[in-house]
Chain A
Amino acid sequence: MAILKTDNITMRFGGLTAVDNFFVELEPGEIVGLIGPNGAGKTTVYNMITGIYTPTENKIYFEDEDITGYKPDKIAKLGIARTFQNIRLLDNLTVLDNIMIGTHLHLKSSLFSAILRLPGYTKEEDELYEKSMELLKRVDLDEYTNDKAGSLPYGKQRKLEIARALATDPRLLLLDEPAAGMNPQESAELVGFIRHIRDEFDVTIFLIEHDMKVVMDICERILVLDYGKTIAEGLPKEIKNNPEVIKAYLGVDLANA
């Protein structure tokens, strides 16, 4: 069973077709890349999957459930988490708080028991705390626990955002340009980190990335988007040599040059 299936979804803004008949099926445990030039519609695909936009046409299925038109928080509760191209951390809150907010969706206690600190709530809160601390250790951010998220170095902020997404216990993780702004050494570490979380946290990963080295190193399968259309799909080495893809990226037609 595919964990995610987008059944030829299309997104139009007014007269502009940002994404045209996008089809993907992700199998559990895969790491799949989505690449394409700027403005190709990659983030729009993400925004449709996570409920920020509702596709103009057709449906999205997560573990066979039709999630088209669900709100972002409901989709997060079902098990899809994401990061953002422009990091969206809660800068003025601590690293721990950032993680704990990711666990809020698991909270079962009511507002009243939270205010009255009934035993049911305190027990849950303790569990969420333990879980968050453990997560911080597992991703090696525990030394920053009480620092403000906004004060972290850039690379750590990216990592924290991924960790926060993991705190929601996702089965599918969408990473929007995780290597953006990183130096070669940082992005090499990132490749290891992404593989590590796939194995350790048992998630399927769908990532957008511009850094070709990262994409080729890490992805088992790649889709290429250009002007909203999927122009190629396949193994990294197939994509690397696909003339259509080279044309899209370089703007020249090598095959006929």
Chain B
Amino acid sequence: MSLDIFLQNIVNGLSLGSLYALIAIGYTMVYGILRLINFAHGEIFMLGTYFLYYGVLIFHLPWWLSFIVAIVLTAITGMLTERIAYRPLRKAPKISILISAIGVSFFLQNAGIVIFSGVPKSFARPEIFDKMFILGNTRISSINLASTFISVIFLMALLYVVYETKTGLAMRSISTDMETARLMAVNVDRTISITFAIGSALAAVGGILWALKYPQIFPLMGMIPGLKAFIAAVLGGIGNIVGAMIGGFILGMAEILLVGFMPQLSGYRDAFAFIILILILLFKPDGLMGKNVQEKV
């Protein structure tokens, strides 16, 4: 493999990784607070792309406005799923709430098929995203550049919210100990809603960038990227926001490089992430940056 192709792969890997990172954050934030694998997060991501599609193509909103509308609507959907399907089960066994999340996931997928139809819809993205930058022999499409750049901006904004604001403090206190946080007058329900809103908004950003990058959307599109982003979150240490970002970049990069170096294995690309998952769970279940928690006897 020549240096050019290698660089090309790095650029592609960064771009894919940044999207995984954006989605992974929603998983990791929810897990940090509720100890729940929010199975429906991939569908939230899918809905983000459809909100954008309808904004631009049906309501003829300008792109920038469609972006905002899509992000807001997705955030609201995320909050609603928590309110309806997870909150009533907060005291139930953990597995019940996970099953509920799986139910929401399939519900949204099929509701997507009912409402949007199962036929993939294609997107005419703004021309600016079709531009190519040529750096030596490496071609960088503007969408790859933009997605990496936009992701990094949102990730930094998130870190600011979590570590520098009062809401962030409330989130961190709930993830340490929900009951104590409640006693300290943290509004637990409201903070959890905000967490879902932020996680879903970031998934919407990820979805929009995904749709601009691969301009075809369909109701089942959230499944595989969702699972992979979850794997990224586990890889980075679930519950750890910086870990999820790093996990996302590592996974995106690893997938692209696997296909780049060993094209004969490209059919196994989707299995690769799951093999990583099982290995991580077995040998380093707390991930690269997580803390190990054991049941007290």
Q: Is A84 an interface residue (CB 8 A)?
A: yes
Q: Is B297 an interface residue (CB 8 A)?
A: yes
**Would you give the 0/1 interface string for A69-90, flagging 1 where the beta carbon is closer than 8 Å to chain B?**
0000000000000001000000
Number of residue pairs spanning A and B whose beta carbons lie under 8 angstroms apart: 4
Q: Is A21 an interface residue (CB 8 A)?
A: no
Docked Cα-Cα span, A52 to B294, in Å, equals 12
Docked Cα-Cα span, A132 to B297, in Å, equals 27
Q: Is A47 an interface residue (CB 8 A)?
A: yes
Residues from chain A with a CB closer than 8 A to the CB of B297 are 43, 47, 52, 84
Residues from chain B with a CB closer than 8 A to the CB of A84 are 297
Residues from chain B with a CB closer than 8 A to the CB of A43 are 297
Residues from chain B with a CB closer than 8 A to the CB of A47 are 297
Which residue of chain B has the shortest Cβ distance to A13 in the bound complex? B294
Interface residues of A (CB under 8 A from B): 43, 47, 52, 84
Docked Cα-Cα span, A95 to B27, in Å, equals 41
Interface footprint category on B: under 10
Q: Which 4 A-B pairs have the closest CB atoms?
A: A52-B297, A47-B297, A43-B297, A84-B297
**Would you give the 0/1 interface string for B263-297, flagging 1 where the beta carbon is closer than 8 Å to chain A?**
00000000000000000000000000000000001
A-B contact pairs, 4 of them (CB 8 A): A43-B297, A47-B297, A52-B297, A84-B297
Docked Cα-Cα span, A43 to B297, in Å, equals 8
Docked Cα-Cα span, A52 to B297, in Å, equals 8
Docked Cα-Cα span, A52 to B295, in Å, equals 11
Interface residues of B (CB under 8 A from A): 297
Docked Cα-Cα span, A43 to B296, in Å, equals 11
Which residue of chain B has the shortest Cβ distance to A52 in the bound complex? B297
Which residue of chain B has the shortest Cβ distance to A44 in the bound complex? B297
Docked Cα-Cα span, A47 to B296, in Å, equals 11
Chain B nearest CB: distance from A114 CB in Å? 28
Which residue of chain B has the shortest Cβ distance to A84 in the bound complex? B297
Chain B nearest CB: distance from A237 CB in Å? 33
Which residue of chain B has the shortest Cβ distance to A46 in the bound complex? B297
Chain B nearest CB: distance from A204 CB in Å? 22
Docked Cα-Cα span, A94 to B6, in Å, equals 65
Chain B nearest CB: distance from A40 CB in Å? 16
Chain B nearest CB: distance from A86 CB in Å? 9
Chain A nearest CB: distance from B96 CB in Å? 15
Docked Cα-Cα span, A84 to B297, in Å, equals 8
Which residue of chain B has the shortest Cβ distance to A53 in the bound complex? B297
Docked Cα-Cα span, A47 to B295, in Å, equals 13
Which residue of chain B has the shortest Cβ distance to A43 in the bound complex? B297
Chain A nearest CB: distance from B279 CB in Å? 24
Docked Cα-Cα span, A67 to B96, in Å, equals 39
Chain A nearest CB: distance from B246 CB in Å? 24
Docked Cα-Cα span, A47 to B297, in Å, equals 8
Chain B nearest CB: distance from A201 CB in Å? 25
Chain A nearest CB: distance from B154 CB in Å? 36
Chain B nearest CB: distance from A88 CB in Å? 9
Chain A nearest CB: distance from B43 CB in Å? 34
Docked Cα-Cα span, A130 to B7, in Å, equals 74
Chain B nearest CB: distance from A133 CB in Å? 30
Chain A nearest CB: distance from B199 CB in Å? 32
Docked Cα-Cα span, A122 to B297, in Å, equals 35
Chain A nearest CB: distance from B293 CB in Å? 13
Which residue of chain B has the shortest Cβ distance to A176 in the bound complex? B297
Chain B nearest CB: distance from A77 CB in Å? 19
Chain B nearest CB: distance from A42 CB in Å? 12
Chain A nearest CB: distance from B218 CB in Å? 44
Which residue of chain B has the shortest Cβ distance to A50 in the bound complex? B297
Chain A nearest CB: distance from B165 CB in Å? 32
Chain A nearest CB: distance from B36 CB in Å? 24
Chain B nearest CB: distance from A163 CB in Å? 21
